[in-house]
């Protein structure tokens, strides 16, 4: 009769000895768990921070916006080409205008030189004043007097320009009435503003058609003064 507990008896098999079966290794469980967690994290990041998938309506709206942007880009490109063409044309016009202005400047310079030569050729005012009344014509016609007057300022020695002269010019006619009475009639009084020279031309109506002018006295005064700085008497023709 046995006194202790029974122990299992070892029984060999034809294939050798046997061992008790074991569960899934721990390292394999950790690997599978890591893969699952990693995949879940990737999905979470994509949904939370990654680009979201567009709906069909959003995709259509995006295509429409892109098409509109493309059309606007084409319009702006055409507009830019038009502006560049306008700028090019404006520059060309500016160059042509500059060339024309230079040509006109040369013509004016040539004309000024010609005028200077003509001025030098005109006989001086007999009184030797400046401005000088170099020439004048007075013609009586149809109850009035037609006049043409050329005034010239002398250039100071060594100068090419002269200050403007401002003042008054007055025309006074001396003549007779049919009864033989002599009279003086003021025909014209007007402002004067001249540079190197000025040509005045006009017509003065006689206040009395019976008056017969014989001569006209030209008087020039400075601005703000009654002092006569130039005068000349011209016989009336006609």
How confident is the model over 32-59, as pLDDT tens digits? 777 777 766 666 666 666 566 678 888 8
Query: pTM for the whole thing?
Result: 0.56
Instruction: Report how far residue 73's alpha carbon sits from residue 192's, in angstroms, rounded to the nearest whole number.
Output: 64
**How does pLDDT run across 149-196, given as a tens digit for each residue?**
999 999 888 787 889 999 999 999 999 999 999 999 999 999 999 999
Q: Which two tokens stand for residue 223?
A: 């601005």
Provide the 3-class DSSP secondary structure of residue 87: helix
What lies within 8 Å, CB to CB, of 17 at 6+ separation is none
Q: Could you give the count of Cα atoms lying within 13 Å of 125 in the half-sphere of its Cβ? A: 22
Backbone phi, psi, residue 32, to 5°: -65, -40
10 Å CB burial of residue 93 (0-12, 13-18, 19+) is: exposed
């Amino acid at each position: 009769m046995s006194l202790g507990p029974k122990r299992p008896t070892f029984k060999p098999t034809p294939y050798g000895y046997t061992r008790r079966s074991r569960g899934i290794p721990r390292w394999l469980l950790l690997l599978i768990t890591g893969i699952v967690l990693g995949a879940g994290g990737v999905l979470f990041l994509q949904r939370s921070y990654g680009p979201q998938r567009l709906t069909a309506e959003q995709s259509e709206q995006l295509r429409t916006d892109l098409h509109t942007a493309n059309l606007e880009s084409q319009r702006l490109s055409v507009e830019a080409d038009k502006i560049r063409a306008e700028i090019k044309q404006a520059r060309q016009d500016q160059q042509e205008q500059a060339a024309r202005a230079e040509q006109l400047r040369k013509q004016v310079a040539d004309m000024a030189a010609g005028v200077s030569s003509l001025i030098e050729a005109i006989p001086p005012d007999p009184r030797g004043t400046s401005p000088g009344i170099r020439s004048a014509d007075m013609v009586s016609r149809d109850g009035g007097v037609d006049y043409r007057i050329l005034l010239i300022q002398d250039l100071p020695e060594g100068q090419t320009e002269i200050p403007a002269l401002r003042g008054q010019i007055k025309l006074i006619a001396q003549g007779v009435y049919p009864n033989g009475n002599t009279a003086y009639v003021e025909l014209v009084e007007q402002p004067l503003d001249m540079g190197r020279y000025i040509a005045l031309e006009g017509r003065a109506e006689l206040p009395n058609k019976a008056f017969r002018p014989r001569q006209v006295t030209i008087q020039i005064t400075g601005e703000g003064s009654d002092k006569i700085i130039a005068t000349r008497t011209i016989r009336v023709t006609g």
